[in-house]
Amino acid sequence: MDITDNYKRVRQATIDFCRHLQAEDYSIQVVQFASPAKWHLAHTTWFFETFILKSYLDNYVAFNEDFNFLFNSYYNNVGERILQSNRGNMSRPSTEEVYAYRQYVDEKMQDFLQEVSDKETIDLVSLGLNHEQQHQELLVTDVKYMLGHNPLFPVFDKEYHLVKDKNTARGSVKIAAGIYEIGYQGKGFCYDNELGVHKVYLDDFEIINHLVTNGEYLAFMEAGGYADFNLWLDEGWAWVNREHINAPLFWHKIEGEWHYYTLAGLQKVNKEAILCHINYYEAAAYAEWKGMRLPTECEWEIAAEKLDWGKRWEWTNSAYLAYPNFKKENGAVGEYNGKFMSNKMVLRGASVATSQNHSRPTYRNFFHPSERWQFTGIRLVN
């Protein structure tokens, strides 16, 4: 697939998801970390306008000069921006104007791509497309958070459940001690934080070839897991007590029975389905309760080819840090990953919300240990 066709495919996927939204859904921001759908639509467009059209076309006319301030996310090199917590305050520009913005930029981009052949520019367009795919997954999770905190638990799409998957593999995988290489070595796209191939030494380990299910986690809950401080990291225990946590995100006990919100509406918890929406603190506490541990990201990557993965982002026991020889690009593009290498934990794999062709064994996702609105799960190591 050439870059023009790929551009059209990725951009259309964002629109296709948003077709299930109602007009009032586009602007709501119920919590700081979950951005409105309208902002995602505009921000992903802003990326192409700012880093490609404005940079490469001398005669390019911006759709709206105010949009750089409104839809810049965290790129200090590009200029001032609104606070993330204020993204939901923008009743203007209208959703219709944001869609017009996308159309305007798409037309300019498609004309531009007909004339482009140099690798540097195509790589930058590819970065923009992968950036949009990241936001497609954020759209899913942010919309679910918004609707999941609506007291009516509305249906987004009755076919769009996403958390009913069950494990298709059992058993475990044993990996012998030795020196291994990790990091991206292919010829396709990867993020800069995957680069810096290097050797690591691993002891013998045995990693479970299935993810923790709702029923298995429910046993932890019923055994008093959320009330036993011995199981929790100190920050996790503080989080449990501060936020009064007693169950995974989106779980609700109704008339003595656990239900969870899905994008297909409120459903009874399926005990056989794979657990979802837990944070690092919960994953670590569950592992402690089981007398096991979470894998390191090095262990996960080495074992990946023998594992059944891709249904949940899997918490690892590794802090998000730079690989040896990591090099941050100059300018705004260099702000993409490197500056977040603090107070984050690495997740590996992909999830049912991950966009098509946007996963690989070397992908290093990262979130703060307290965050659980992504489609996250648990894999254990003996």
Tens-digit pLDDT profile for residues 77-103: 888 999 999 999 999 999 999 999 999
| Tally of domains within the chain | 2
pLDDT reported for residue 337: 79
What are the angstrom distances between the C-alpha of 360 and each of 44, 261, 315, 344, 368? 22, 29, 16, 20, 21
CATH number of 287's domain? 3.90.1580.10
pLDDT, one tens digit per residue, over 361-377 is 999 999 999 999 999 99
Q: Lowest mean pLDDT: which of 19-23, 73-77, 167-171, 187-191?
A: 73-77
pLDDT(106) > 90: yes
* 201-257 pLDDT per residue, tens: 999 999 999 999 999 999 999 999 999 999 999 999 999 999 999 999 999 999 999
Asked if residue 354 belongs to a domain, the reply is yes
Q: Is 97 helix (H, G, I), strand (E, B) or coil?
A: helix
Whether the pLDDT of residue 335 is over 90: the answer is no
Q: Is position 92 within any domain? A: yes
One-letter amino acid for residue 65 of the chain:
E
Q: What are the pLDDT digits (tens) for 256-294?
A: 999 999 999 999 999 999 999 999 999 999 999 999 999
DSSP assignment letter at 273: B
Residue from 299, 313, 298 nearest 378 by CA: 313
Band of the pLDDT at 331, cuts 50, 70, 90?
confident
Task: Examine residue 119 and state whether it is found in any structural domain, yes or no.
Answer: yes
Q: Is 161 among the domain residues?
A: no
Whole-number pLDDT of residue 117: 86
Question: Using an 8 Å Cβ cutoff, are 294 and 315 in contact?
Answer: yes
Are both 141 and 261 inside the same structural domain?
no
Do 130 and 211 lie in one domain? The reply is: no
Is the same domain home to 128 and 177? no
d(CA 88, CA 70): 11
pLDDT of residue 327: 85
In a shared domain, residues 191 and 116: no
At 201 the pLDDT is: 98
Out of 87, 115, 148, a domain closes at 148
- Look at residue 85 and tell me if it is in a domain: yes
What does pLDDT average to over the chain? Answer: 96
Mean pLDDT to the nearest integer, 2-17: 97
* Residue type at 169 in one-letter notation: A
With b meaning 16 or more CB within 10 Å and e meaning fewer, what string describes 142-153?
A: bbbbbbbeeeeb
Q: For residue 121, give the H/E element and its range.
A: helix 119-148
* 8 Å CB contact between 349 and 326: no
The two structure tokens encoding residue 189: 């796209």
Answer whether 194's CB lies under 8 Å from 181's CB.
Answer: no
pLDDT of residue 33: 94
CB 212 within 8 A of CB 378: yes
Per the structure, the complete domain to which residue 37 belongs is given by 3-148
Q: 262: which 2 tokens?
A: 């899905």
Model confidence pLDDT, tens digit, residues 136-171: 999 999 999 999 999 999 999 999 999 999 999 999
Q: Is residue 160 part of a domain?
A: no
For the segment 295-314, the average pLDDT, to the nearest whole number, is: 98
Contact present, 132 and 47 (Cβ < 8 Å):
yes
Q: What pLDDT, on the 0 to 100 scale, is given for residue 333?
A: 74
Q: Which amino acid is at 71?
A: F
Between CA 288 and CA 316 the distance in angstroms is 14
Residue 38 has what pLDDT?
98
Same domain, 21 and 143: yes
Residue 207 tokens read as 């990693």
